[in-house]
Structure 1
Amino acid sequence: MKISVSSAPLTDIKKDAVILFFQELENLLPAGNTKLAKQVDALVKTSPFKGKAGQTAVFPMNGKQIIVTGIGEPGRFHHALLEQAAAAAVRTGKAAGLKSFAMASTIKLKGLSESDYHLLAGRGAAWGTYSYDINKSDAKKAPACSLAFCGKVKSRNAIKTAEAQGEALVSTADVANMPGNQATPESIADWAKKMAKETGLGCRIMNTAALEKKGCGGILGVSQGSAKEPRMIILEHKGTDTKAKPIVLVGKTLTFDSGGISLKPGKGMGWMRYDKCGGMAVLAAMQMIGKIKPATPVIGILGAAENMPGSNAIRPGDILTAYKGKTVEVLNTDAEGRLVLMDALGLAADYKPQAIVDLATLTGACIVALGSSASAILGNDQKLVDTLIKNGELAGERLWQLPLYKEYTDDMKSDFADLSNLSKSGGAGTATAAAFLQEFVPDDIPWAHLDIAGTAWLESPKPYQAPGATLFGARLLAQWLVALD
């Protein structure tokens, strides 16, 4: 979506629709729009619109459409609601055949800076243009959409960032939503290589031979039951700060997870195309970084593999050797993500980074604990954890910290190897999985783990998005990395 700034008043702007935000029934138009506010308020009073989060309504006015969109109750506002309201408004407009939109350059919302408003509303509007229909035989190319912020703007940096991030989200979403027969480890590697070339990132792909030479027994073990070979995808933004150590982002990228021999129930297994969403968040974040080009060097690592119950698949009781030599007893082949990540984290540590952050749709226990309202964060460095939580709030992606006690590490010990991939007690699944991962990160490197199992995709439609990948994590990573400059 092309996002611009216009000096024209909202009432005069030559666009198909004007988007207005409401907090319940309070119009959030800034000062100077008294006549428009009165006209819209009069229309709202006679409609079912109550300004609830994600609720929209359309009113014809003076040759254009007015789309009102709600952010909900004043006492329960968080940044995601504004982004979702913008996305819902554009989706509503697109459904009505509208292509060009306008918003006020500021918003009357306490505690929200102008730059935050531009980033959230602009990025949300871009996300609202997206639909996944490439596999529909009657799909037509969607017309290009545009958005203008009307009025004085102090700085256009946030608007440029919103446009860049929106483009990255929309383009990555197609890969994230593809089924396992289309989004294979090899095809994702090819897409990453093409994206890297377009955005000025470095790209290195490790195939089976390279992984074997390196001794990455985790990702090789997970993939050995599949006809699809694994790939370790490494993207690099060099940055301009030559003295800075890099940040390394690691994403679990299981292109399809059947559970392996520890087969998942058939009901709902089709959603396991989204077990790659940790890697998709890293892929989108790296594209954002490639477009925005912060000073800090950033490395993105995607461990891409397919977990299938083929004749050569790993068995419960098998022992795998991770990169750098630790051994792991496989108690359940459906706890495969951590086996891929143990190699990726070892490779991440080789960069001697200032921090490592991994993202993974790792445990069903996280969904039980937090549902779809927040992702879990655990780590070995409280400053890093606090920083990511803060940037998540600003980016509209909420994190909730869970503890990482020594008892959880003890619970992952094996009688036959250094570690097992499942806890002995069966409890605290999210924390014990994180404790397992911690064993592959040197103590002197700050590290955080984000379990995005409950937030990575939607199984039912929302006003702001159809079912599919949310790319949760990409926004907060970009927010954090840009703030480091």
Structure 2
Amino acid sequence: MKFTLNLNAKVNSEADVIVISAFTKDESTLVNTHWSKEMKTSFAAVNSSVNFKGGKGETYSFTHEGLDVLAVGLGVKTKLTSEDLRKELAKTYKLISKYTSAAIAFDGFVFKGKKEESLNILGEAFGLTAYTFDKYLTKKSDAKLKEVFVDSTEAKSKGKKFQKILDEAVVVTDSINVARDFVNEPPNILRSTEYAKRVKKDVEKIKGVKCKILGKKELQKEKMNLFLSVNDGSAYAPQLVHLTYTPSKVTKNTKHIAFVGKGLVFDTGGYSLKPGGSMINMKFDMAGSSTVYAAFRAAAMMGLNVKITCILGMTDNAVNEHATMPDAIVRGRNGKTVEILNTDAEGRLVLADCLDYACDLKPDAIIDSATLTGACLMALGTEVCGLMSNNKKLSDKLIKSAGNADEYMWELPIIPEWEKDMKGTISDLKNLGGSRWGGTAKAAAFLKEFIKDDIAWAHLDIAGVGDSQSHLPYCPAKGASGAVVRSLVDFLKNS
């Protein structure tokens, strides 16, 4: 979708539909003082029998000078929030997607006078809502909207700045939609090797990005035995994709952030086999890797002044005569031994070796992302991302960025008792705690064992938010949500 600023400061008559906003006073009186006199006349001619008051969620269509017009109610202007605006614009997109082009009178779609933030929200809402995953459907989506003209009285004076905001919103939403595509791909198509191949191809033309892929032999040389143990039952080679983005101007103040993502392209549970019903949608178990990849991709394409490393550990967790058995003891890359009590607690094994690998790069901070525990859904539901960290400054920054992106993130503690519970009796560690309680933070306590003491680290458990967020109109009703990417991009912008 293309966004074009209209520099004429008038509603673009070339578009197939014009979108205008409306507000309400005390939920009972229409406020349309920002409409042109001619628009008000056209509206008045057809509104006598319709009770349109500009309330939030209300819409009304009419004709003005031969053009279709959609009036979008935003409620009481002083109460409009950024997330309200994002949701109403998402609903608007669904109503106008049947048109080829649209013109939006943007000055009426601003919350609390924050025009630049509102412009970014417009780009986000339309770009995220436009997403469909219909490549395997005989009948494709009938959405046609290709171009959106953005009309603003400030388009001429702030044209370059406004266009940059819109262009960056497109980069972020495109990256989120790439991540959604990866997660939604069926597991018979997106094997670990195919996943790595697609990532490599996707970054080929991004300035400042380099890609290195480690296969089974390279992982063996790196002594990444925990990662390899998950892959033992697979017919497909494990892949560690090592991406680096270096900005054009690196100074002593340039931060280095490392992302690590769990990329389980399918998880059967291994010998600790999942029940049939629990295996459905286990293709989503690589959402952690696609999340950090999308943030990495967006930041690199925008040319942010921060060095970023992105480590993606890719494999499936399958069963055959070579698969790792419960009770196995395996030595990780950092030298610590782990008793594998449950082969369905495999994501932490992949992450453990990948985190140790990332530590050797000596970044200023490491952030990992994974659909790691069902316990996170029990604790925080499907709307809140779990956060655990060894560094208060880092966790505070991430929570602030989540707030800036209108996403929910909540920090859970890693207490000494849970760290102790992950210690082994015949091994240094075990991959499962002594009880099911506190499972999310206990998994983080396990991961913490693979972080060097002097490195700030945060673990994001996206098990709840990575799947469908159907309560949000800019997310698909089914399939990958793309959650947390906007939070991570904001974090990188402010690093």
State the TM-score, normalizing by the size of structure 2. 0.88
Q: Tell me if 1:425 matches 2:435.
A: yes
1:133 corresponding residue in structure 2: 134
Q: Distance in 2 between the 1:100 and 1:435 partners? A: 52
Q: Distance in 1 between the 2:30 and 2:381 partners? A: 31
Look up the equivalent residue of 2:300 and give its one-letter code: G
Deviations 1:401-433 (A, max 9, x none): 111211111111111211111111221111111
Question: Which consecutive unaligned segments of at least 5 residues does structure 2 have?
Answer: none
Q: Distance in 2 between the 1:174 and 1:351 partners? A: 30
Q: Tell me if 1:347 matches 2:357.
A: yes
CA shift for structure 1 position 64: 3.7
* Count of matched residue pairs: 480
2:100 corresponding residue in structure 1: 99
Q: Secondary structure at the match of 2:281?
A: helix
Q: Distance in 2 between the 1:44 and 1:315 partners? A: 73
Distance 1:179 1:369, change over 3 A: same
Look up the equivalent residue of 1:7 and give its one-letter code: L
8 Å contact 1:461–1:467 — kept in the other structure? Answer: no
Q: Tell me if 1:233 matches 2:237.
A: no
1:371 corresponding residue in structure 2: 381
1:148 corresponding residue in structure 2: 149
Look up the equivalent residue of 1:175 and give its one-letter code: F
1:443-482 alignment, distance < 5 Å: 443-458=453-468, 463-464=473-474, 465-482=476-493
Q: Distance in 1 between the 2:277 and 2:451 partners? A: 36
Question: Which consecutive unaligned segments of at least 5 residues does structure 1 have?
Answer: none
Look up the equivalent residue of 2:95 and give its one-letter code: T
Look up the equivalent residue of 2:201 and give its one-letter code: K
Q: Tell me if 1:326 matches 2:326.
A: no
8 Å contact 1:23–1:70 — kept in the other structure? Answer: yes
Look up the equivalent residue of 1:226 and give its one-letter code: S
Q: Which range moves more in the overlay, 171-180 or 188-197? A: 171-180
1:159 corresponding residue in structure 2: 166
Q: Which range moves more in the overlay, 127-136 or 165-174? A: 165-174
1:269-280 alignment, distance < 5 Å: 269-280=279-290
Q: Tell me if 1:362 matches 2:364.
A: no
8 Å contact 2:77–2:111 — kept in the other structure? Answer: no
Distance 1:269 1:158, change over 3 A: same
Q: Distance in 2 between the 1:315 and 1:135 partners? A: 36
Q: Secondary structure at the match of 2:437?
A: coil
Q: Distance in 2 between the 1:48 and 1:268 partners? A: 47
Q: Secondary structure at the match of 1:235?
A: strand
Q: Tell me if 1:281 matches 2:291.
A: yes
8 Å contact 1:30–1:104 — kept in the other structure? Answer: no
Q: Secondary structure at the match of 1:173?
A: helix
1:386-465 alignment, distance < 5 Å: 386-458=396-468, 463-464=473-474, 465=476
Identity of aligned residues (%): 32
1:113 corresponding residue in structure 2: 114
Deviations 1:99-158 (A, max 9, x none): 323333345655462222111221221112211011123447965622222111443232
Q: Secondary structure at the match of 1:136?
A: coil
2:266 to 245, 251, 256: 256
Q: Distance in 1 between the 2:30 and 2:53 partners? A: 15
2:308 corresponding residue in structure 1: 298
Distance 1:137 1:357, change over 3 A: same
Look up the equivalent residue of 2:244 and give its one-letter code: E
1:195 corresponding residue in structure 2: 202
Q: Distance in 2 between the 1:341 and 1:299 partners? A: 15
2:63 to 58, 61, 64: 61
Q: Distance in 2 between the 1:462 and 1:449 partners? A: 24
2:216 to 202, 208, 212: 208
Q: Distance in 2 between the 1:388 and 1:225 partners? A: 36
1:46 corresponding residue in structure 2: 50
State the TM-score, normalizing by the size of structure 1. 0.90
Look up the equivalent residue of 1:137 and give its one-letter code: T
Q: Distance in 1 between the 2:74 and 2:385 partners? A: 21
Q: Secondary structure at the match of 1:377?
A: strand
8 Å contact 1:180–1:256 — kept in the other structure? Answer: yes
Look up the equivalent residue of 1:46 and give its one-letter code: V
CA shift for structure 1 position 384: 0.9
Q: Distance in 2 between the 1:189 and 1:298 partners? A: 18
Q: Which range moves more in the overlay, 23-32 or 381-390? A: 23-32
Distance 1:353 1:315, change over 3 A: same
Distance 1:414 1:51, change over 3 A: farther
**RMSD in angstroms over aligned alpha carbons?**
3.0
8 Å contact 1:27–1:37 — kept in the other structure? Answer: no
Higher Cα Rg, which structure: 2
8 Å contact 2:23–2:53 — kept in the other structure? Answer: no
Q: Secondary structure at the match of 2:213?
A: strand
Distance 1:425 1:69, change over 3 A: farther
1:9-28 alignment, distance < 5 Å: 11-20=11-20
Look up the equivalent residue of 2:222 and give its one-letter code: K
Q: Distance in 2 between the 1:247 and 1:394 partners? A: 19
